[in-house]
Structure 1
């Protein structure tokens, strides 16, 4: 249960909080600044073995799909210009999906500092007499509206949607854009891989297998069947996830808030303003770039910096 404190009556007891063992905060090398990371602050990495394994599996699946397209489908495909265009489209989707995933993993989702529910910080809020603020009893932090505590990250996350093991991170205010882009590009990549694999099957079935692939017929068949299964599975999964995220954004209600059927105490924004709050203002092609940091206004910024 949340613990309320008013401006005239709040707990001034000091709390000794150890560094969060669930998160590694690393200094960002200058190299990564070229790719839009918030290197002046930190790189956020959640130390969860399940999440790390899921991330490794994700990268292995992307590499496998890239291998099949590069080494099985493209080398012997007929029509050089069409082959080049299809390959280019697939590799662009794969690169953007990979970049979006990395950005989701290493971006602070909106964590509130542990143990910041102190006399000094509460005074900085500028509350009037009788106003109430809340403290999370688990991480001893001032808990702003719409923040929820994550048991994996062991932090309160501002505007937390859910904790996703496939990105080894919470999806919150600061990284929801990257998560949405990840689901979108994986979905597009999967559908395009389905098209290329089915087209390859048809081509091989109507021609000599020895001219259709650099590998034997059984090996080529196995490669393509695994790719088809992987692409179909992830196309459906990410399409559903992408639709769920877009619905949540447009309704200005996070997944946790929908799950708990919480009555909104905040003023809901229109669907267009909600989209701009996640992807940045104004609308531009940068909405679709995982290398762009959206500019959105945040109140009381000091509360949300680690």
Structure 2
């Protein structure tokens, strides 16, 4: 179907399952990391605001770095989830990337049948 520089390999029917699982894992990992980063920073900031806490408030450099990393992680989530959505659409339409550009497709069937063709019956 196409060459992917992320995995340094061509993606086709024989390895599309692994590519989709890779994209799904990367999307989930980036989203979870972003949430943990923001929740941890917010918790630390709230903790440092209490009178009984000895924790110093976070500095501006810490807040800027946290914000930049959170924005970068969120951008990665959007970027990779778009690739994931394209792969799911290619399964649904039974078409490769090249066939999509040529506005052609494979044989029409149900989404389940196309899904089983890519993922198999037990995955």
* TM-score class, shorter: 0.7 to 0.9
Q: Report the Cα distance in structure 2 between the residues aligned to 1:249 and 1:280, rounded to whole angstroms.
A: 13
- Kept in 1: contact 2:94–2:107 (CA 8 A): no
2: distance between equivalents of 1:174 and 1:232? 30
Aligned-partner SS, 1:211:
coil
Check the 8 A contact 1:164/1:171 in 2, yes or no: yes
The aligned counterpart of 1:228 is 70
| Counterpart among 26, 39, 49 of residue 186 in structure 1 | 26
Shift of 1:249: 0.5
CA contact (8 A) 2:13 2:118 kept: yes
CA distance in 2, matches of 1:188, 1:212: 32
Stretches of structure 1 lacking an aligned partner (at least 5 in a row): 1-159, 287-306
CA deviation after TM superposition for structure 1 residue 222, in Å: 4.6
Give the helix-richer structure, 1 or 2. Answer: 2
Q: TM-score, normalised by structure 1?
A: 0.35
Note if 1:247 corresponds to 2:98. Answer: no
What is the CA deviation profile of residues 182-225 of structure 1, one whole-angstrom value per residue up to 9, with x for unaligned ones? 11111111111121122122112222287379xx7355435423
279 and 252 in structure 1: CA distance in 2 versus 1, 3 angstrom threshold: same
Question: Matched residues in 2 for 1:211 and 1:171: separation?
Answer: 50
* Larger of the two Rg values belongs to structure: 1
Q: 5+ unaligned residues in a row in structure 2: which ranges?
A: none
Residues in 1 aligned to 2:33 and 2:119: alpha-carbon distance in whole angstroms? 27
Change (3 A) 1:279 1:201: same
Contact between 1:204 and 1:212, CA under 8 Å: does it hold in 2? Answer: no
Equivalent in the alignment of 1:198: 38
1:260 aligned onto 2:102: yes
Q: Does the CA-based 8 Å contact 1:194-1:231 persist in structure 2?
A: yes
Q: What secondary structure is seen at the aligned counterpart in 1 of 2:23? A: helix
SS of the counterpart of 1:163?
Answer: strand
Q: Secondary structure at the match of 1:167?
A: coil
Instruction: Note the aligned Cα RMSD (angstroms).
Output: 2.4
The one of 55, 76, 79 equivalent to 1:211 is 55
Structure with more of its chain in strand, by fraction = 1
Equivalent of 1:276 in 97, 116, 119: 116
The one of the two structures with greater contact order (alpha-carbon pairs below 8 A, sep at least 6) is 2
Contact 1:203 1:212 in 2 (8 A): no
8 Å contact 1:186–1:238 — kept in the other structure? yes
